[in-house]
Structure 1
C-alpha cells in the first residue's frame, strides 16, 4: 500500500519529493493506492490531463535510476475519484537526461527529454512505446529562462521563445492523434452532435443533442448556450445543470449515450447571429465507473441563425413588471433619485439580455404598490417602442421574448445582473391599458353620451332659460364619481396596506355625512316646508333613489329644484335652511373627505 499525493506546480523527474512539497506549498490532495509493486524511491513525477476515454486523470511515475541514467518508468493512472485504472511499464525508455511526460487527449503521450536548453520530443503510444519523433527540429534549443511551452487540448504543442526584448517567436506542432482524427470538439468521446457544427438554426429549434461513445449519466455541471454580440461580447441565452430537470435535459433511453436538451423559445431569437454551446467537465459521468467526463469548450460547437425575417408590425407597448419582495424592499430603501437610477439601469440591463436597442426599451414614469401576494411588491412600468423597420423585432415580439426569459429566469442571464435578479418570475410582464386601443367602445360611448347631453343642454337652455340645466350634468358626474371611488376601494386599495384603512375611513365618513344630511334635509322639508311637502306627496317615491345618489355628494339634491326641462318632478322648492345645509355640508366634505383622499393617493403614487 502507498500514498499518492498531488501538489501545485511543475517538477522535473529528478526532483526529490520532499523538495517539491517545500517548493510548491504543500499537498493539494492525496489518495491511498495499492500498486502492483511498491516504488522504491517514491513518486517523483506527476502531471494531470485527460485520456482517450474523456476521463480526467492524474499520472504519477516511479523512476528507477542508476546514478543519472533512467532505465524504466512505471506510470500509475489515477482517475479523479482516486482509483488506479492501470499501471504501465515503459521498458524501452533509455534516457540519460531529465524528462517530462504529458498525456495527450487523443491518445498517447508526449515525452520531453532535456539537458539544459537541449530538448528532444517523442510521441508515445498508449503502451508507452515511441511512435514517432515530433516534427520540430531534433534536438530543439529552448533557452530555459527565455521560453515556455504548453500542450493544448487539440494535441498541439506550442512553445514561445523570447529572442530579444521586443521579439517573441511562437511555434506550433500538431502532434499525431491516435483516435478520432477528425474530431473538431477537442473531445474524443463525443461521436456526434445535432445540429452539427456550423449549422443554421432558428427560433423554432426546440432541442439540441449530442452522443457519447458509451453510456453516461447526467451530473451537476452546466451546459450553456451563448450568443456572440459584435464579435466579442458573449451573451448567455440559457444555462442549466445536467441533473436540473428531466424536462430540460434527459438521456435517450435506448442506449443512455445521447443527451437531449431543451432550447427555450427566446434562445435563438436574434436573426443572422452566431451562437455556441459550451459543456462543462462533469456534465456527464461514465455510467459504469461514475467518473467525470470532459465537456466542450467555447467557440467549438458553433451555430448560426437564419437571415433576417420580416416581423408583423405592432404598436408601442407599456409593460409592467413586478419586483420580488426583497427587490421591493431594496427599491423602497433607495432615495427618489436612486430609485430613478435603478429603474433606468433595469431597462438598460433588460435591453442587453433580450437583446434589443437601448432606445426601444425605456423606463416609464410612475410605480404601483401591489399587496395581492400578502407582501408589499413594487410594480414598475416600461415603454417598448414600435419600429417601422420590419426586419427588426416588433414591440410585441420584444414583450414575448422577455416573458419567455422570465419564465426560465433561473436558467437565463436575468440571474447575472444585480437589477434583473430582483424581478419576480411569477408575475409575467403585463401590458398596461392603452385607452385608445383597449377602451375604444367605452370611449365612443362616452363621447356619444356627452354629445347627446350637450345637445339636450343647449336645447333646454334655449327653450327653458329659467331652468338650471347644469344640475343634471352635476348629478351624472356625482354618480360616476361615487362609482369610481367604490371601485377603487374594492379593486385597488387593498393592494397597499397603508392605503386600505384610510381609504375605507374616508369613504365611510363621506357616505355617512352626505346620506345623513340628505335624510335630515328630506325630513325637515317635509315637516317644515309646505311647498316641498306638497311636491313630495306626488313624487315621494323618487326621494329614496336621490338619497342614495347623494351619498356621493350632497349637491345631488339640487337637481330637485333645477326645473330641468321645466318638468314638475324637478320643480321642488327648498327652504333657505335646506340650501345652507347643502352648501356647508359640501364644503365640509371637500375638506374632510375629498382633499385627504387626493393627498393619500398622490402620496402612495396611485
Structure 2
C-alpha cells in the first residue's frame, strides 16, 4: 500500500516519459500533484486546478496511454490539502479537507491491468525461481524474478530468511542491496537474476522465504517505484538430503586491523567475553548447533598481513546425524560467509564484523594427517634407496656408494626450491624476490664453474679425456646437473656399485676445485635457502607439503655439508700433523745417524744405503 501527497519531481518524471498532449487540452493549465503506480497495474495522475480549486484524476495503462478518469465525480472541490491512497484490493480512497473542521472520504474502484498476482500480492510479478511452495536443491546459486513489464534496479534490498515456523524469529541468511553487482538483467529487462551464495540455502529440509522491499525495482519506462513482496509470501523449502560423515577439524580466521587493535586493548576477562560471544554469533550466522563449535583459541599472529593480524582457531566437532551439516560443509559455509560478509549476517554482529573478509575461514592443516600418503611415499623411497645402497656396497665395497642417497637428495632439493617459488613464493611477498635471487644466481654460478672445471680437465688430464670420449652424454648431463650442486661432478668418479660409467679419473687439482666451489655454494646457496624456509614457516598460517619438503631437504643438505666440511678439516689437520711428525722423526733419525757416523767408520757403500 502507498500514500503519496505532493511530489516536486512528479512533473519532471512524467514529462520525460509521457507525451502529455495525448491527455487533451483541458489538463494544460492543471497542476500535476501526484503520479502513482497502481497495485493492479497502470498509473494514477492526480491534478489540481488552483483557479477553480478542484481536483481530478486520470488513469493510464501499463504503456502510459490514456485509459479514463479515476471514477470520482468530475470537478471535486478541494479548498485545502488532500490525500490519495490506493489499496491492495484495487480500490482508491480520496480524503479531501473542506475546511479545518470538515473532511470528506470518498471511495472508488480502479481498473485492473493485471488479472492475477500469482500469490505474491504484487501483480507486477509474473513468476519467480524458486516458485512459491516449491522444493529446491541445497546450495543453489541463483534466483530470479520475472515481471510483466520492463524494470530497472533501484536501491532497496532483497533479503532471504530461514524460519522454522511463522511464529519464530526468522534467521537472515543473505541480503543484497539493489545497487549490488549480484544482480543482472535479461535482454528484455523483464527478468532480474540475483546471485546467491552457496551458504544461503545450506540447511536440508528447511523453510525459507524472500522479502523484496518496495522500491527495489522501478518501472523502466516511468521510473516509478514498484511494490515489493512481503514476508511469508514467496516461500519454499529445501529438499531433505543425508550428509556424509566427516572427521572433526580445526579452522582459523583472522581479525581485521581494527579488530586486532580493539582486541589487544581488552582485559583478560574482556577477551574471554569477546571470544564467548563470537562463538555464539558464528553459530547463529552459519547456522549450526552451538555445541558443534568448540571454544575459540587465541592468539597467534599472521605476519604475512601488514600490519600483523590476530589469528583465532575454532575446533568444529563431527556429528553422526546424517541430517546435519558435516564438518567439511560447515568449514566451506563459514569461509563463504566471512569472505562475503557485506551481504551475510557476519556483518550484523559486533563480534563477527571484526573478521577479515580476505582471509576467510581456513582449515588448519596437520602435516601428519593431510600429507600422510606423501610421507608414506617418501619413507618407501628411502627404504628402496637403502636396499640399493646395501646392494651396491656388497657388489663393490670400494665405491663411494653413498651417492645413491646424495644424488636424489640434491635433485629433490633443487626441484622443491623451484616448485616453492612457483607455488608458494608469493604467499609471503617479502621472501619472493630473495627466493628467486638465491635460486637463480647460485645455479648460474655453479653451472659456469662446472663447465670450466670440465673443460680444464679435458684439456690437461689425458686419462680423463680418454674417458670423456667414450662417455660424452653422461659428462654433459652431469655438467648440467652441476648447476644444482657442484658436487654432482664427483659422482663421475664415485665408482658406485662398480659401474665403469662412473669411473672418470678426476685429478686431485679438479677435486680440490670442486671442494672449494661447493664450499662457496654452501654460503651463497644452502644457507640462504635454509634461512628463507625458516622465515617462511614463521610468516604463514597454512603450511603445505612443498615448503615442508623444501625445508627438509635443505636441512639435510645443510647438515651434511657442515659435517662433511668439518670432517675434511679434521682429515686435513690430521694429515698435516702426521706429516710434521714424520718430518721430525726423519730429522731425529738423521741426527742419530750423524752421531753414529762420528764414532764408527762406515763403508761408503753402506753409508749411501743409510742416506
TM-score by length of 1: 0.54
Counterpart of 1:592 in structure 2 is 524
Residue equivalent to 1:269: 202
Q: Distance in 2 between matches of 1:194 and 1:524?
A: 79
Say yes or no: does 1:219 pair with 2:202: no
Matches within 5 A, 1:157-306: 185=120, 187=122, 200-203=135-138, 216-221=149-154, 224-228=158-162, 231-232=169-170, 234-236=172-174, 245-247=184-186, 251=190, 266=198, 268-271=201-204, 272-278=206-212, 280-281=214-215, 283=217, 285=219, 290=222, 292=224, 294-306=226-238
- Range with bigger deviation, 571-580 or 583-592: 571-580
Given that residues 521 and 578 in structure 1 are in contact (C-alpha distance below 8 angstroms), is that contact kept between their aligned partners in structure 2? yes
- Does the C-alpha gap of structure 1 residues 120 and 292 become closer, same or farther in structure 2, counting only changes over 3 Å? closer
Root mean square deviation of aligned Cα: 6.7
Structure 1 distance, partners of 2:449, 2:47, is: 99
Structure 2 match to 1:551: 483
Offset, 1:366: 7.2
User: C-alpha separation between the residues in 1 aligned to 2:325 and 2:188?
Assistant: 29
The 3 A distance-change label for structure 1 pair 59 and 415 is farther
How many aligned positions are there? 484
Structure 1 residue 108 and structure 2 residue 95: aligned? no
Deviates more, 1:106-115 or 1:546-555: 106-115
TM-score by structure 2 length? 0.54
CA gap of 1:269–1:532, structure 2 versus 1, over 3 A, is same
CA distance in 1, matches of 2:26, 2:41: 25
The superposition leaves residues 274-330 of structure 1 with CA deviations (integer Å, 9 ceiling, x where unpaired) of: 3223154373538xx747363224314241323642123467899999xxxxxxxxx
* 1:62–1:74 Cα contact (<8 Å) kept: yes
Q: What is the distance in 2 between the residues matched to 1:316 and 1:180?
A: 55
In 2, the alpha carbon distance for the partners of 1:480 and 1:242 equals 49
> Does the 8 Å CA contact 2:138/2:201 hold for their aligned counterparts?
yes
How far is the alpha carbon of 1:248 from its aligned partner? 8.9
Provide the rounded CA distance (Å) in 2 between the counterparts of 1:444 and 1:182: 65
Whole-Å separation in 1 of the counterparts to 2:336 and 2:143: 18
2-side partners of 1:529 and 1:478: how far apart?
28
User: Are residues 1:74 and 2:55 paired?
Assistant: yes
Q: Distance in 1 between matches of 2:122 and 2:129?
A: 16
CA deviations 1:82-123 (Å, max 9, x no partner) are: 99974776589999x98854424231316487998x998855
Please tell me whether residue 483 in structure 1 is matched to residue 415 in structure 2. Answer: yes
- From the superposition, tell whether residues 512 and 600 of structure 1 become closer, same or farther in structure 2 (CA, over 3 Å): same
- State whether residues 282 and 292 of structure 1, in contact with CA within 8 Å, keep that contact through their aligned partners in structure 2: no
CA distance in 2, matches of 1:196, 1:519: 74
Partners of 2:466 and 2:142 in 1: CA distance:
84
Contact kept in structure 1, 2:210 and 2:231, CA below 8 Å:
yes
- Matches of 2:83 and 2:368 in 1, distance apart? 76
Cα deviation for residue 353 of structure 1 reads 7.7
Name 2:447's counterpart in structure 1: 515
What pairs up with 1:454-603 in 2 under 5 angstroms? 454-458=386-390, 460=392, 467-486=399-418, 506-522=438-454, 542-565=474-497, 576-599=508-531, 602=535
Output the CA distance in 2 between the equivalents of 1:269 and 1:249.
Answer: 32
Q: Structure 1: where are the runs of 5+ without partners?
A: 9-26, 66-71, 128-176, 252-258, 322-330, 370-379
In 2: Cα distance, 1:525 partner to 1:183 partner: 92
The CA distance in 1 between the partners of 2:140 and 2:471, in whole Å, is 74
The SS at the match of 2:169 is coil
Q: Specify every segment of 5 or more residues in structure 2 that has no aligned partner in the other structure, as ranges.
A: 265-274, 306-310, 541-546, 548-611
The structure with more helix, counted as a fraction of residues: 2
SS at match of 1:276: strand
Q: Closer, same or farther in 2 for the Cα pair 1:357/1:90, shift >3 Å?
A: same
Is the Cα contact below 8 Å between 1:242 and 1:283 reproduced in 2?
no
Structure with max Cα Rg: 2
> 1:577: Cα distance to partner?
3.7
Counterpart in 2 of 1:174?
Answer: none
2:382 matched residue in structure 1: 450
Structure-to-structure mapping, 1:25-424, within 5 angstroms:
36=26, 51=38, 53-54=40-41, 59=46, 74-76=55-57, 86=69, 90=73, 101-105=83-87, 106=89, 107-109=91-93, 111=95, 122=105, 124-126=107-109, 185=120, 187=122, 200-203=135-138, 216-221=149-154, 224-228=158-162, 231-232=169-170, 234-236=172-174, 245-247=184-186, 251=190, 266=198, 268-271=201-204, 272-278=206-212, 280-281=214-215, 283=217, 285=219, 290=222, 292=224, 294-306=226-238, 308-313=240-245, 387-389=318-320, 390-394=322-326
Q: What SS does the aligned partner of 1:593 have?
A: helix
Distance verdict in 2 for CA 1:185–1:467, change over 3 Å: closer
Cα deviation code 1:143-184 (max 9, x no counterpart) = xxxxxxxxxxxxxxxxxxxxxxxxxxxxxxxxxx9x999997
The secondary structure found in structure 2 opposite 1:299 is strand
Deviation for aligned residue 1:454: 1.1
- What CA deviation, in whole Å up to 9, does each residue of 1:1-50 have, x standing for no partner? xxxx9768xxxxxxxxxxxxxxxxxx6766799884899xx98x978866
